[in-house]
């Protein structure tokens, strides 16, 4: 059975997008799911978070998209989490936006890659760029589902509406059928009345699409990338580890 393909997407930086991509992937893998995380963000933060030396990595999603390496498995990296593999990114991916302009079928390159390996995994997670361009379009067309992390902050909540509009436009233009399976409130400070009010507003606007529990504000989440491992390995008893494991469990039930 092919993997569930899920894009982690938000147009606002600092929303918890990459943190969610990495720690959700780890949470699923620790539940014995076979998970592949694809980092298609030129900032390569997911790759850094999982301990990849992005300045010296030879094969990345860049080489796969540009057709420089036909063997997809050669670009895969084993992580420190059992059952979790990574196709890393690197800063050179930023040039792909221009390099892919003359390429026929450029919007479906990632989809073609995903279709070749989908049966090897149960979950395939894509960490999308913040900006919308050829790379983001590739991610949306390669995946059937989207998760939208949203910091409990007005500007991030506004960005969710933009993401929903973009997904709707992509579906209509390309005859795609991507579904938003959830909006994830992140960096939730339960002591903050403003945070609580924003979550209530999100509940009114998005209803059942708003996932609970929220991901709480936790300094351990900010510390984990420097250790090259997900929160479940660096601070297994932390709120962040609990929340992302709970999110993984919820996703498995959907």
Segment 52-84, tens digit of pLDDT: 999 999 999 999 999 999 999 999 999 999 999
Where in the chain are the domains? 4-253
239 sits in which H/E element? helix 239-253
pLDDT at 234: 96
32: left (phi over 0), alpha (psi -120 to 50) or beta: left
Question: Is the model's pLDDT at 208 over the cut of 90?
Answer: no
pLDDT at 113: 97
100-121 pLDDT, tens digit per residue, is: 998 989 999 999 999 999 999 9
pLDDT at 241: 95
Q: Is 3.40.50.300 the CATH number for 4-253? A: yes
Q: Which of 247, 39, 10, 220 minimizes the C-alpha distance to 125?
A: 39
pLDDT at 159: 81
pLDDT at 160: 86
pLDDT above 90 as % of the chain:
75
pLDDT at 197: 81
pLDDT at 2: 84
Question: 3-class secondary structure for 30-96?
Answer: CCCCCEEEEECCCCCHHHHHCCCCCCCCCCCHHHHHCCCCCCHHHHCEECCCCCEEEECCCHHHHHH
Confidence of residue 34 (pLDDT cuts 50, 70, 90): very high
129-181 pLDDT, tens digit per residue, is: 988 999 999 999 999 999 999 887 777 777 888 999 999 999 999 999 999 99
pLDDT at 146: 97
pLDDT at 158: 77
Question: In this structure, how many other beta carbons lie within 10 angstroms of the beta carbon of residue 180?
Answer: 18
pLDDT at 5: 98
Question: pTM to 2 decimals?
Answer: 0.94
């Amino acid at each position: 059975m092919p993997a569930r393909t899920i894009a982690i997407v938000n147009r606002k930086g600092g929303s918890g997008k990459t943190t969610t991509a990495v720690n959700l992937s780890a949470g699923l893998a620790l539940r014995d799911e076979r998970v592949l995380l694809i980092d298609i963000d030129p900032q390569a933060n997911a790759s850094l978070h999982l301990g990849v030396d992005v300045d010296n990595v030879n094969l990345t999603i860049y080489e796969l998209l540009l057709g420089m390496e036909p063997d997809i498995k050669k670009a895969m990296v084993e992580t420190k989490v059992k059952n979790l593999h990574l196709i890393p990114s690197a800063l050179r991916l930023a040039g792909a936006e221009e390099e892919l302009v003359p390429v026929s079928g450029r919007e479906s390159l990632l989809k073609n890659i995903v279709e070749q390996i989908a049966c090897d995994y149960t979950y395939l997670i894509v960490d999308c760029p913040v900006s919308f361009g050829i790379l983001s379009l590739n991610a949306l067309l390669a995946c059937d589902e989207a998760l939208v992390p949203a910091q409990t902050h007005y500007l991030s909540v506004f960005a969710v509406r933009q993401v929903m509009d973009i997904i709707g436009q992509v579906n209509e233009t390309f005859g795609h059928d991507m579904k938003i399976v959830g909006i994830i409130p992140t960096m939730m400070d339960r002591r903050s009345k403003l945070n609580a009010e924003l979550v209530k507003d999100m509940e009114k606007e998005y209803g059942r699409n708003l996932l609970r529990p929220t991901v709480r504000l936790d300094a351990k989440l900010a510390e984990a990338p420097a250790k090259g491992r997900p929160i479940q390995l660096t601070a297994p008893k932390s709120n962040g580890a609990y929340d992302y494991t709970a999110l993984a469990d919820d996703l498995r039930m959907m």
